[in-house]
Amino acid sequence: TQLLEQSPQFLSIQEGENLTVYCNSSSVFSSLQWYRQEPGEGPVLLVTVVTGGEVKKLKRLTFQFGDARKDSSLHITAAQPGDTGLYLCAGDAGGNKLVFGAGTILRVKS
């Protein structure tokens, strides 16, 4: 069974601070997706990383896929209250199935 572990589980920071969320596995994934979920809504895709070592930037968010395609990180620069939400990583387990991590709850205080 392929598992994805996310850390930290909870993160409460002040506006303007930087943070990093980690997503780790002992399994190799062909690709990895990051989603953000806000209260009362379903998850929304932020990015998909495919190539080992790949780095993608989305405004203040930087996503990295590990060289061995077993881990990924999400770095947010100068966090804002609008970044508050549940961040989920999901690995492509093949067979059109995604394996989700348990998520990181981020709260950014103004």
Partner 1 sequence: KAGVTQTPRYLIKTRGQQVTLSCSPISGHRSVSWYQQTPGQGLQFLFEYFSETQRNKGNFPGRFSGRQFSNSRSEMNVSTLELGDSALYLCASRVTGTGLRTGELFFGEGSRLTVL
Which residue ranges make up the site for partner 1 (CB under 8 A)? 30-31, 33, 35, 40-45, 48, 50, 88, 90, 92-103
Q: Which is nearer to partner 1, 40 or 59 (CB)?
A: 40
Which positions ≥6 away from 30 have C-beta within 8 Å? 50, 69, 92, 94
User: CB of 17: closest distance to partner 1 in angstroms?
Assistant: 25
Q: Which is nearer to partner 1, 14 or 95 (CB)?
A: 95
Q: Which is nearer to partner 1, 13 or 50 (CB)?
A: 50
Contact 74, 60 (CB under 8 A): no
Contact 3, 98 (CB under 8 A): no
